A and B are shown apart, each in its own frame.
Chain A
Amino acid sequence: MKKIEAIIRKSQFEEVKEALHEAGIDFFTYWDVTGIGNEKAGAIYRATVYETRFIQRTMISFVCRDHLAENAVQAIIRAAQTGELGDGKIFISNVEDSVRIRTGERGPESLFIKD
Chain B
Amino acid sequence: MRKKKLLSIMVMGWLFAFGSVVPVMAQASSPAPAADSGDTAWMIVASALVMLMTMPGLALFYGGLVRQKNVLNILMQCFILMAVLTLQWVLIGYSLAFGSSQGFLKSFIGGFNWAFLRNIGIHDLSPYFISHSQTLADGTQTGTIPHLIFILFQCKFAVITPALIIGAFAERIRFKGFLVFSILWSFFVYDPVAHWVWSADGWLYKLGAIDFAGGTVVHVNAGIAALVTALLIGKRKDYRGSAIPPHNIPFVVIGASLLWFGWFGFNAGSGLAADGLAASAFLVTHTAAAAAAFTWGIMEWVLHGRPSTIGIATGAVAGLVAITPAAGFVDITGSLAIGIGVSLICYLSVGIMKPRFGYDDSLDAFGVHGIGGIWGAIATGIFASPFIQSSYSGLIYGNASQLLKQLLATGVTIVYSAAVTYVIFKLTDKWVGMRVSLKEEAVGLDWSEHKEVAYTKID
Which of chain B's residues have a CB closer than 8 A to the CB of A50? 242-243, 245
B287 interface contact, C-beta 8 A: no
A34 contacts chain B at the CB level, 8 A cutoff: no
B310 touches A48 (CB 8 A): no
Asked whether, in the complex, the Cβ of A48 is within 8 Å of the Cβ of B351, the reply is: yes
Min C-beta distance of B318 to chain A, whole Å: 10
The verdict on B424 contacting chain A, using a C-beta distance below 8 Å, is: no
Cβ B350 vs Cβ A46 within 8 A: yes
Interface residues contributed by chain B, number (CB under 8 Å): 20
Question: CB-defined interface of A18-48 with B at 8 Å, one 1/0 digit per residue?
Answer: 0000000000000000000000001111111
The interface-forming segment of B25-33, B54-62, B298-306 is B298-306
B246 CB–A CB distance under 8 Å: yes
List residues of chain A with CB within 8 A of the CB of B355: 48
Q: Are A47 and B245 neighbours in the complex by a CB distance under 8 Å?
A: no
Report B-chain residues with C-beta under 8 Å of the C-beta of A51: 242
Identify the closest chain B residue to A52 (Cβ).
B245
Asked whether A45 lies within 8 Å of B245 as measured between CB atoms, the reply is: yes
* Complex contacts, B300 vs chain A, CB 8 Å: 44, 47
Q: How far is B246's CA from A51's CA once the two chains are assembled, in angstroms? A: 14
Q: Is A49 part of the binding interface, using a Cβ–Cβ cutoff of 8 Å?
A: yes
Asked if A44 and B242 sit within 8 Å, CB to CB, the answer is no
Nearest-Cβ distance from residue B250 to partner chain A, whole angstroms: 16
For A51, the closest partner residue in chain B by CB is B242
- Report whether B364 and A46 are in contact in the complex, using a CB–CB cutoff of 8 Å: yes
Interface of chain A, main secondary structure: strand
* Smallest beta-carbon distance B171→chain A, Å: 15
Interface string of B342-369 (1 = CB under 8 A from A): 0000011011100100000000100000
A44 lies within 8 A of B246 (CB): no
Contact, CB under 8 Å: B245 / A44: no
Q: List chain A residues, Cβ under 8 A from B245.
A: 43, 45, 50, 52
Number of interface residues of A (CB under 8 A): 11
The tally of CB-CB contacts under 8 A between chains A and B is 42
User: Are B311 and A46 closer than 8 Å at their CB atoms?
Assistant: yes
* Whole-angstrom distance between the Cβ of A110 and the nearest chain B Cβ: 28
Contacts of B347 in A (CB 8 A): 47
Q: Does B333 contact A (CB under 8 A)?
A: no
Cα–Cα distance between A52 and B246 once the two chains are bound (Å):
13
Which of B304, B352, B364 touches A44 (beta carbons < 8 Å)?
A: B304
B437 beta carbon closer than 8 Å to chain A: no
Contact B351 A44 (CB under 8 A): no
- In the bound assembly, the distance between CA atoms of A37 and B364 in angstroms comes to 30
Residue B88 at the A interface, CB < 8 A? no
Q: Give the shortest distance, in Å, between B294 (CB) and chain A (any CB).
A: 15
Q: Once the chains bind, are A45 and B308 in contact (CB under 8 Å)?
A: yes
* Minimum C-beta distance from B155 to chain A (A): 31
How distant is the Cα of A50 from the Cα of B300 in the complex, in angstroms? 13
Taken together as a complex, chains A and B put the C-alpha atoms of A46 and B310 apart, in Å, by 7
Tell me the residues in window 54-101 of chain A with beta carbons closer than 8 Å to chain B beta carbons.
none
B350 touches A44 (CB 8 A): no
* Cβ-based interface call for B314 (8 A): yes
Q: Which of A44, A46, A47 has the most CB of B within 10 A?
A: A47
Alpha-carbon distance between A44 and B303 when the two chains are bound, in angstroms:
11
Instruction: State the CA gap A47–B367 with chains docked (Å).
Output: 11
User: Considering the chains assembled together, what is the distance between the CA atoms of A42 and B303 in angstroms?
Assistant: 13
**Distance of A32 from chain B, by nearest CB (Å):** 14
Most A CB within 10 A of own CB, among B242, B311, B364: B242
Closest-by-CB residue of B relative to A42 is B304
| Chain B 237-269: CB-based contact to A (< 8 A → 1; otherwise 0) | 000001101100000000000000000000000
Q: Name A50's closest neighbour in chain B (CB-CB).
A: B242
Q: List residues of chain A with CB within 8 A of the CB of B311.
A: 44, 46-47
Q: How far is the CA of A105 from the CA of B338 in the complex (A)?
A: 75
Contact between B308 and A49, CB atoms less than 8 A apart: no
Return chain B residues, CB-CB under 8 Å to A43. Answer: 243, 245
- Which single residue of chain B is at the shortest CB-CB distance from A47? B351
Choose one: B246, B306, B350; the contact of A48 (CB below 8 Å).
B350
Residues on B lying within 8 angstroms of A by beta carbon are: 242-243, 245-246, 299-300, 303-304, 306, 308, 310-311, 314, 347-348, 350-352, 355, 364
A43-B245, A48-B351 known, 20 other contacts, Cβ within 8 Å: A42-B304, A44-B304, A44-B306, A44-B308, A45-B243, A45-B310, A46-B243, A46-B311, A46-B350, A46-B351, A47-B299, A47-B300, A47-B303, A47-B311, A47-B347, A47-B348, A47-B352, A48-B243, A48-B355, A52-B245
Residue contacts A-B, CB under 8 angstroms, 6 given: A44-B300, A45-B245, A47-B299, A48-B243, A50-B243, A52-B245
